Amino acid sequence: MGVVNVTPDSFSDGGRWLDAATAVRHGVELVAEGADLVDVGGESTRPGALRIDADEEARRVLPVIEGLVAEGVRVSVDTMRAATARRALEAGATIINDVSGGRADPAMMALAAEVGSPVVLMHWREHSATMQNHTHYDDLVADIRAELGQQVDAALAAGVDPSRVIVDPGLGFSKTGEQNWTVLAHLDAFVAMGFPLLVAASRKGFLGELLAGPDGPRPAGERDHATAAVSTLAAAAGAWCVRVHDARSSADAVRVAARLAAESGPR
Ligand code: PMM
């Protein structure tokens, strides 16, 4: 999954794809470099980010989705709002990527059930403005899994078909850098939930901290090699999808993991 954030303020690519034509060109490029689908979002979820209104969100994402669909690209919409998701699906998006996993907008799971599209349910506690005040867990992996399990149960109760559910542990969302590493070390616990697993580590702050030099954390644009390393490990651990800003490096990484997995089969 390649990422196109149509936002002025995303930490990873904010401001670069605000113009719709540029965003569409970038999405097409991500596919040429190996992405199977492109995730289009109009609202930044960086720690501390404030919300924008629904009209502004739609104004940002709809032309990009229409442009990508016209180019034959498979699109997911990264939104927490049912109204935006509905308009995005009408514009040709086929997957809902709700980082709140149904918690931000009670109408979202009813929409997913109605349209029958695949839906990414990410582990989520709070909106970005305050999420980093909520990083306490008694047992990190077990708690995230249990809370994500409740989100899945709510989606199924709203009528979402289990075959449409994709789960995501939500790296960086109500999680410290250290906690992100613990989650990555235990992806098997999330694979064991029995749904396709999405992992989105790309360019996130914990990679910048790991790679920090004398001038501080490695800047977001220089974290793609580390991202590809995570993509290899996530794929080897059984992830179904990695959400990344640089498609080529992670597509190559996933192919390496798949080749090795084929080799470790029966001899
Ligand atoms: N992270 C971001 C945005 N959307 N979607 C899913 N499913 N999982 C994530 O972890 C996630 C997401 C924030 O980062 P960005 O700047 O790369 O969009």
Which run of H or E residues covers position 76? strand 75-78
Ligand 1 binding pocket includes 12 (Cβ within 6 Å): yes
List the pLDDT tens digit at each of the 267 positions of the chain. 999 999 988 777 878 888 999 999 999 999 999 999 999 999 988 888 888 999 999 999 999 999 999 999 999 999 999 999 999 999 999 999 999 999 999 999 999 999 999 999 999 999 888 888 889 999 999 999 999 999 999 999 999 999 999 999 999 999 999 999 999 999 999 999 999 999 999 999 999 999 999 999 999 999 999 999 999 999 999 999 999 999 999 999 999 999 999 998 766
d(CA 49, CA 79): 14
Placement of tokens 């569409």 in the chain: 24
Altogether, the residues listed in the chain come to a count of 267
pTM (predicted TM-score) = 0.96
**Tokens at residue 173, please?**
């969302």
Q: How far is the CA of 71 from the centre of ligand 1 (A)?
A: 24
Ligand 1 binding pocket includes 122 (Cβ within 6 Å): yes
Q: Which of 5, 26, 78 to mutate to test the pocket of ligand 1 (most atoms within 8 A of CB)?
A: 78
Q: Name which of 70, 18, 35 is nearest 241 in CA terms.
A: 35
Ligand 1 binding pocket includes 170 (Cβ within 6 Å): yes
Strand order in the sheet with 95-98: 2-5, 38-41, 75-78, 95-98, 119-122, 165-168
